[in-house]
A and B are shown apart, each in its own frame.
Chain A
Amino acid sequence: MAGRQAWAGWRNGEFGVLMAALFVAVLALAGVGSIAQRTTDALAEQSRRLVGGDAAFTSDDRAIDAALGDARTLGLRAYRSVELSSMVGSGNAAPQLGTLKALADDAPLLGAYRVRTASGVQALPRPAAGTLWLSASGAERMRTPLGGIVEVGGRPLRLAGIVVEEPDRPLNGVELGPRVILPLAEVEAGGLLGPGARASWRVAVAGAPAAIARWVKAREADRSPGARVETGDDLSPQLRAALDRAQRFLSVSLVLTAALAAVAIGMAARQHAERHRQVAATLRALGAGQRAIVGLYVGQLALLGGIAILLALAAAGVLQHLAGGWIARELGTTLPAATAWPLLKGALVGLWILLTFALPPLLALRRVSALAVLRSDLRTPSPPALALFALAMVGLLALFWQAAGNAQAAGILLGGLLATTLVLGIAGWALAALVARAGRGGSGIVRYALLNLSRRRRLTIAQVVALGTSLMALLLLLLVRTDVWEQWQATVRGDAPNRFVINVQPDQRTSFDAVLRQLSLSPAGFSPLIRARYIGPSAQQRGRPAPQGRGERLADREFNLSTADALPAGNTLKAGAFWNPRSARGEFSVETKFAEQLRWRLGDTIAFDVAGQRIEGRITSLRDVRWESFTPNFFVLASPDLARDLPATYITAVKVPVGDTRLASALAQAVPNANVIDIDAITGEIRRIGDQAAMVIQVVFWFAFLSGCLVFVAAVAATRRERITELGVLRTLGASSAQLRNAQLVEFGAIGAIAGGIAAVAAAGIGTLFAQRVLDLPPTWSGTTLATGALVGTTAAMLAGWLSMRRHLHATVRETLGAAG
């Protein structure tokens, strides 16, 4: 019987909203969630490419032989290279110090080099014997065309290609002069790797995660000179921030989509239960017990819900295949294979939504009295509201926590949602009360429409809450998405610097400024860079667990300290107080995440060795840094009194046109020891990440929008039958189409205005908190945005109401009353 009833109900359109909302929620989580997961996995995969493998080990001596041996023993694939500095010259350019990267005969692990040769752009593993490749800027410096001769270490080699894409080009390293890629055999034949050569050997490995972990652990114990381990975690902070932000936003968007769908399903289920009150009463009068009633309605829900979930999972599979392929083609990348987890998660969340939002109103039908057959005034028993509410909130909290990654973010979202719901409920009640008072004096259809709000008080409140909540969620996503997108745009496409200049001596400042003036360039700050080595944990730190993994590696590196008189732009104080430059004595300011990795805390005393001189001070502030600003920023700042007499060079950042080499050329003349670091590669990668994430964010946003629309539909449908009947009666009494249309517009317009106004304010508030605390972005919304949001809400509600009744506005009374059932 449940199956027959379900089929009959489906044909009558009773379950349309419920199944559509469930379908959208599961499809979003399973399908879009899977694509989002695969895209972020692909982005992580790209970070591996930047490392050159799953992990890499660099050392100043041949300790890599042991690393290579271990790799082979563990069954890992390995790839060797060595970097060193040497003089590079050509017939057209004076010799200059360049960076050489010599490749062994092993194939690259992750992707070949893309090189522009005489035959066009090709994917090649390494240069051929007797040849070399140059970076684009290197070729510019050498002023040598393809096929020309470049001398490396006095050895002439033919320029066979200009590197377009270098799969394992280090992002954090410093590049001196032209960058040359050549066979290891050429370097060895040129005697450049003799005793005393300052070369950095590198081996990258790829393979099973467990083997990688063992190999990395063994390398971390290596204390040979220059030993350093790199994994994907060592990405530049900019890339890390971009990846983290994209992932969190996508996850939260998907959860909001599911939450909106849950609201729509809950409303649809309540309406269905209300419509079936009489049916349940009749069944009870005919002798059906509570168990039979439960079996009937739960059976229908299980059947139709199961079908919706299965259809959504199937659609998710198709969507993954089609959309994943499209994204991969558009962005020239490959996505990792899909896993089952998003599908499982989508199905589980779908079931949870059914259990917490759809099932309770239907279960309440078992308590409908048989007397309701005769007494229509008997109210439908309500499900236990508090228990259900608690269950729903626990589930939502868990989802938000998992999506946002931390309790604070989950708290902001769920707390914001609850607070908004409460305010909307109060506003709905106030609206109904207000029009009840104000409407008494008026007359006509407008009065009738407004008084309807107070007559159907509970429904008015429910509609204000439903419309307001869905609008708030959509506005929130729109505002935050705009923030995320605009920040990316401003950072990587706008005026973000793309050249770092280092090694400028204090007495070269005038010459440096003259070069910038000549080229009409403006530096983003001019900061001292002090090379320092961290002197072990202090007494207060010894009791704590030692830094592990990346933290341990960071502790062993040379630090780049700097100083500042005030909190630098792009930095946000998180704890403590930034010093007064006139009165500061022995203080340090540390980047928050950096401090966490090194197990440093506010108040700790830390010490550094700067060219044999010990400096010591207390950590008096912790700050967050917006790395995507691409202005010089430092993990550790020392107070001016500490840095005053320390040996330092200067660093700045400048924005030049992409591919421009005039700055490097001019500085080579005026400030020859200055080095220009081209970070277009980093910004290029972030741009790619932004493009990829933006695509998925767009798709996720439209799913959320669809969910929001279903909430609108459910909210409007809550009173649809009643409205149709009323419309028929009003028609009988002589109301014109215009009067009926205006009544709908006034009623829904009032609901939409209240809901839209509150939703806009709530979205701005929650969006601000979320952008600042979770995504580390300053909010960029304005009053215009809020006003637009409120207007959109009003218009959307009016449109929804009009659309739902449009067909009946011109129908005959008979048709209308027939449609009401």
Chain B
Amino acid sequence: MTPSHSPHDRTLDPIASVLPGQQADDASTPARGSLRTRDVGKTVPLPDGALTILDGISLDIAAGERVAIVGESGSGKTTLLSLLAGLDVPSHGEAWLDGRPIHAADEDARAALRAQAVGFVFQNFQLMPAMSALDNVALPLELRGEAGGAIARSLLERVGLGQRLHHLPRQLSGGEQQRVAIARAFATRPRILFADEPTGNLDRKTGLAIEDLLFGMDDARQTTVVVVTHDERLAARCDRQLRLDAGRLLP
């Protein structure tokens, strides 16, 4: 699939950027809303020896791009997503999120960056079970010290849950919970949105609706979207796909 260009500034040739070992123009500073890695890898210690989950990942994602990370189960998709989003630290290599290096940043610095620029949608929704839909969506704004009630209400209405504001997650179906999660992810108008198997726990029809919602929330294409999925249809809706196999990016 030929990757389309983002309306935002592009600093790298998108094809060259995914070739293993290919070095980009490192003298240039990654733009806001973009992602970059250079030779990133992740190894975890196990009782019977270290396990390499990812190795030698170098990629560039331009601001505004919609990229799908695909691959078979166990290929390292979620791990790559975690590293790109700063939820985990690479064992080696360098990574930039929203134009800022995160490979050597501590957890607080990464959290601060996420608060400013990132939204996240989990496969299992990860809503706060004791908080209503409204409170869940308002939470990221509250963490920034902002009143989030009005924005949260507006977002929930936009995702079709205007009548369920005060319901707890256990009172919502899987699809409805994912809608809340998407609304929460967009509450802070993130420059980058990460989604980990957003339709993985949903039926086909509901999954389609969620996909539409996910992309529909950013009509103006101002948000970089990185989605991990094994759903080929969802992957096809993205500008390009990064295919992982046994922890390595395929050309």
Tell me, yes or no, whether B219 is within 8 Å of chain A by CB: no
Q: Give the residue of B111, B128, B139 whose beta carbon is less than 8 angstroms from that of A731.
A: B111
The CA-CA distance from A738 to B184 in the complex, in Å, is 22
B69 to chain A, nearest CB (A): 16
Q: Which residue of B lies closest to A733 (CB)?
A: B140
B84 to chain A, nearest CB (A): 12
Contact between chains at A729 and B126 (CB < 8 Å):
yes
Tell me, yes or no, whether A722 is within 8 Å of chain B by CB: yes
The CA-CA distance from A377 to B111 in the complex, in Å, is 32
Tell me, yes or no, whether B145 is within 8 Å of chain A by CB: yes
Q: A444-B143, A814-B87 are in contact. Are A733 and B130 (CB under 8 A)?
A: no
The CA-CA distance from A146 to B144 in the complex, in Å, is 89
Which residues of chain A are within 8 angstroms of B129 by Cβ–Cβ distance? 722
Contact between chains at A813 and B87 (CB < 8 Å):
yes
- Give the interface segment out of A392-400, A408-416, A448-456, A649-657: A448-456
Tell me, yes or no, whether A811 is within 8 Å of chain B by CB: yes
B79 to chain A, nearest CB (A): 8
Contact between chains at A733 and B139 (CB < 8 Å):
yes
Q: Give the residue of B113, B116, B118, B131 whose beta carbon is less than 8 angstroms from that of A455.
A: B131
The CA-CA distance from A200 to B135 in the complex, in Å, is 91
Which residues of chain B are within 8 angstroms of A817 by Cβ–Cβ distance? 126
A229 to chain B, nearest CB (A): 72
Given A732-B126, A811-B107, 15 other A-B contacts at CB below 8 A? Answer: A377-B170, A444-B142, A444-B145, A455-B131, A729-B126, A733-B120, A733-B139, A733-B140, A734-B118, A734-B140, A735-B143, A737-B107, A812-B87, A812-B88, A817-B126
Which residues of chain A are within 8 angstroms of B48 by Cβ–Cβ distance? none
Tell me, yes or no, whether B89 is within 8 Å of chain A by CB: yes
Give the contact-size bracket for chain A: 20 to 34
The CA-CA distance from A728 to B108 in the complex, in Å, is 13
Tell me, yes or no, whether B203 is within 8 Å of chain A by CB: no
The interface of chain A, by Cβ under 8 A from chain B, is 376-377, 443-445, 447-448, 451-452, 455-456, 722, 725-726, 728-739, 810-815, 817
Which residues of chain A are within 8 angstroms of B116 by Cβ–Cβ distance? 734
Q: Which residue of A lies closest to B143 (CB)?
A: A735
Q: Which residue of B lies closest to A722 (CB)?
A: B129
B225 to chain A, nearest CB (A): 16
A625 to chain B, nearest CB (A): 59
Interface positions of B from 83 to 138, Cβ below 8 Å from A: 85, 87-89, 106-108, 111-116, 118, 120, 126, 128-131, 135
The CA-CA distance from A737 to B115 in the complex, in Å, is 13
The prevalent SS among residues of A at the interface is helix
Contact between chains at B115 and A733 (CB < 8 Å):
yes
**11 interchain pairs, CB-CB under 8 A:** A448-B139, A448-B142, A448-B143, A455-B131, A731-B114, A732-B87, A732-B114, A735-B143, A810-B106, A813-B82, A814-B87
Which residues of chain A are within 8 angstroms of B148 by Cβ–Cβ distance? 443
Which residues of chain B are within 8 angstroms of A737 by Cβ–Cβ distance? 107-108, 111
Q: A376-B170, A734-B115, A736-B111 are in contact. Are A445 and B143 (CB under 8 A)?
A: yes
The CA-CA distance from A726 to B169 in the complex, in Å, is 14
Which residues of chain B are within 8 angstroms of A728 by Cβ–Cβ distance? 126
| 0/1 interface trace, chain B 2-40, chain A, CB 8 Å (1 if under) | 000000000000000000000000000000000000000
Tell me, yes or no, whether B171 is within 8 Å of chain A by CB: yes
The CA-CA distance from A813 to B171 in the complex, in Å, is 27
B105 to chain A, nearest CB (A): 11
Of B107, B129, B147, B184, chain A has the most CB atoms within 10 Å of the CB of B107
Contact between chains at B143 and A813 (CB < 8 Å):
no
Contact between chains at B107 and A810 (CB < 8 Å):
yes
A152 to chain B, nearest CB (A): 87
A728 to chain B, nearest CB (A): 8
Contact between chains at A729 and B128 (CB < 8 Å):
yes
Which residues of chain B are within 8 angstroms of A814 by Cβ–Cβ distance? 82, 87-88
Of A443, A730, A733, A812, chain B has the most CB atoms within 10 Å of the CB of A733
B42 to chain A, nearest CB (A): 10
Contact between chains at B107 and A812 (CB < 8 Å):
yes
Instruction: List 9 A-B pairs, minimum CB-CB distance, nearest first.
Output: A734-B115, A455-B130, A813-B87, A814-B88, A734-B114, A377-B170, A733-B140, A812-B88, A444-B145
The CA-CA distance from A344 to B135 in the complex, in Å, is 55
The CA-CA distance from A452 to B143 in the complex, in Å, is 14
Contact between chains at A733 and B143 (CB < 8 Å):
yes
The CA-CA distance from A735 to B114 in the complex, in Å, is 9
Contact between chains at A736 and B89 (CB < 8 Å):
no
